[in-house]
A = this chain, B = another copy of it.
Amino acid sequence: MAEENVPSKDHWLSIGEIAHRSGVAASALRFYEDQGLIGSRRTAGNQRQYQRSTLRRIAFVQAAQRVGLALAEIREALDSLPDDRTPTRSDWSRLSKTWRSRLDERITELERLRDDLDGCIGCGCLSLQRCNLYNKSDRLAERGPGARILNVGIPGE
């Protein structure tokens, strides 16, 4: 994650500046670094310094979160990108395919739910046997211990 080899003339940003410009809290940025999502170099006095490109990386992370990816998945995606150059069109297209299908799936599920809901408004049912809302996608039974974050458009799901 060291961002050492860099077109010398760049100037570096402090964590405060990055936090301010990205809208992400400094504590979150440190956390992201722990998680391998972003990198930094240090000053003589051990303070973090970021390249401007880190802002782009952070924006990427945020977009990916909105798509519904967990941080671990986002890290994988970032790792699959060439070290620290701007991604090419084909890098990007590869990634966006995953995103796209995630989004499509989730959108489809929500639309179906909405349609069922509309059906239910008409029928006023809530009857267990008949109602689509109730009987769709039963036994989604996601398994394993630990918290279940969401159903709901969030990572993990």
Contact = CB atoms under 8 A, between A and B. Distances in A.
Interface of A: 19-25, 28, 55-56, 59-60, 62-63, 65-68, 86-89, 92-93, 96, 99-100, 103-104, 106-107, 109-111, 113-114, 117-118, 120-121, 124-128, 131, 133-135, 137-139, 141, 149-157
Given A23-B154, A56-B128, A86-B126, 7 more contacts: A56-B126, A56-B134, A59-B134, A68-B152, A89-B124, A103-B117, A107-B114
Given A55-B128, A96-B120, A120-B96, A153 B103 contact: no
Contact of A151 (B56, B65, B137): B65
Contact of A124 (B62, B92, B121): B92
A155 B23 CA distance: 5
A19 B106 CA distance: 27
B121 A92 contact: yes
A63 B153 contact: no
Given A20-B157, A107-B114, A121-B96, A150 B151 contact: no
Contacts of A156: 19-25
Contacts of A117: 67, 96, 99-100, 103
A134 B63 contact: yes
28 contacts: A23-B139, A23-B153, A23-B156, A24-B152, A24-B154, A25-B156, A55-B128, A59-B135, A60-B134, A63-B113, A65-B152, A66-B109, A67-B113, A68-B153, A86-B127, A92-B120, A92-B121, A92-B124, A96-B117, A103-B110, A103-B114, A106-B110, A106-B153, A107-B107, A107-B110, A107-B114, A110-B153, A150-B154
